[in-house]
Structure 1
């Protein structure tokens, strides 16, 4: 798969497109000449973003208002992936975290997190890969997290959901590669977006040096996709952190996890 939109009428579908890393992907791809299909729950924000991008870059911008934590929402996007103008790049960016640990959570909240972070990723990836493998052209980026490499958020289902996304993407990526299709997990660390604020998570004690810019995360992700990587970990500091998470003794990881919760702030405890 080529990432150069000039070679064809390339079209990308991005979920969670109106904020954070999703919005950064949206603006970068529009500037690079891609046509876009933007998916989010907020129809008003979708319309504003589509108008902005259409006026600035002159590309086709479709919008789909859908809640991907529901079967109906997933079905609408699945249909777009399989019908109409071909989608050459799917970016599964939509996801949530919770501001309370599992022992104080509810089954409904946890199920919604898993439906969005896991179930929707599986369904949309499957829907996209069928036409992509038939054409022998296309790519999928599933936005995961460095948190998926270790239980560094005690009591949180979020890190477990992201461990699934990374493992799933790496596995499916190996099976799709012979068909000329790429699947990659993008695993950023702390990134300056609306994500934590929307989840009600207090990040005030997180050191400034740990933060990444969404635009930098997107740039490195697209470079790594072009290189054929199955897993992309932006920034050297997080590459080092992941190496530690993979090889450090469990007792040390548990100590780091306790310290991490203290630095994140009381709202998540």
Structure 2
């Protein structure tokens, strides 16, 4: 366990699952913590356990990031507490139902949490990180960011947004002392699946990763300097090839004339 204080990490969705494990791991790496989630009792239990096992300072903020007033409170903490050097955007939820069966109001709530809240927290943290010349932003996305056909399409779209935003943040902030990482978990054994409408027990066992294994792999990827970490992807060269193809094509996306295949005879 690292006894060096490394600043504070603010972690959203920290009352259980991936967020609670990030809290434990970052505390063991020397971070004090600010834990954010809706359920204050569960947050307090996580905080008490981490204090007892690591000796780190842990504070809790009971907040529903889908509510503007609660979100604004957390934004203020990120702007005002200059000891915060790490933001883990973990709060979010998903769905497995197809578009024609999904409740559009619920989909809007998903966009509000997965996209809007995450974006506002990034905007709250990044200027201070840039001014101080150091900071870390970890955004929890999903493999559906690159495989949107797998689950609910709106969920996939929200995670594609998280991945795209992370790429852009790396492009804009990478030379300002800020580390940025997108983590793309596959099926992970957490309560996420119950909220989404299908317990992970219904999935093939060989698909489902333990949450602590996922977080440990994500942090290993971070230590390796990865901007995008996909814990279940066994052959990392597949992602390298995917990114290389994307970047190669990006140089061919601007041209004054339409492509010849679109120029039909009159």
TM-score, normalised to structure 2, is: 0.84
Does the 8 A contact of 2:96 with 2:152 survive in 1? no
Partner residue of 1:137 out of 134, 137, 150: 134
RMSD, matched Cα: 2.4
What are the superposed Cα offsets for residues 169-210 of structure 1, whole Å, 9 maximum, x if unpaired? 111112111101011110011111111023321444422111
Aligned partner of 1:57 in structure 2 is: 54
Does the 8 A contact of 1:149 with 1:245 survive in 2? no
Partner residue of 2:42 out of 36, 40, 45: 45
Secondary structure at the counterpart of residue 82 of structure 1: helix
Higher RCO, Cα 8 Å, sep 6+: 1
CA distance in 2: counterparts of 1:8 and 1:55, whole angstroms: 16
CA distance in 2: counterparts of 1:26 and 1:218, whole angstroms: 10
Larger radius of gyration: 2
What are the superposed Cα offsets for residues 144-181 of structure 1, whole Å, 9 maximum, x if unpaired? 00111022235531111111101111111121111010
Secondary structure at the counterpart of residue 170 of structure 1: helix
Q: Is the counterpart of residue 211 in structure 1 residue 205 in structure 2?
A: no
What are the superposed Cα offsets for residues 210-234 of structure 1, whole Å, 9 maximum, x if unpaired? 1112222212222222333211111
Report the more deviating stretch, 33-42 or 151-160: 151-160
Does the 8 A contact of 1:150 with 1:246 survive in 2? no
Aligned partner of 2:249 in structure 1 is: none
Aligned partner of 1:194 in structure 2 is: 191
Q: Is the counterpart of residue 17 in structure 1 residue 35 in structure 2?
A: no
Secondary structure at the counterpart of residue 75 of structure 1: helix
Aligned partner of 1:232 in structure 2 is: 229
Aligned partner of 2:83 in structure 1 is: 86
Secondary structure at the counterpart of residue 56 of structure 2: coil
Q: Is the counterpart of residue 73 in structure 1 residue 70 in structure 2?
A: yes
Aligned partner of 1:34 in structure 2 is: 31
Q: Which runs of 5+ in 1 are unaligned?
A: 248-269
Aligned partner of 2:92 in structure 1 is: 95
Aligned partner of 1:160 in structure 2 is: 157
Q: Which runs of 5+ in 2 are unaligned?
A: 245-266
- Cα offset, 1:245, TM superposition: 8.8
> How many aligned residue pairs are there?
244
Does the 8 A contact of 1:30 with 1:53 survive in 2? yes
TM-score, normalised to structure 1, is: 0.83
Does the 8 A contact of 1:21 with 1:215 survive in 2? yes
CA distance in 2: counterparts of 1:201 and 1:241, whole angstroms: 29
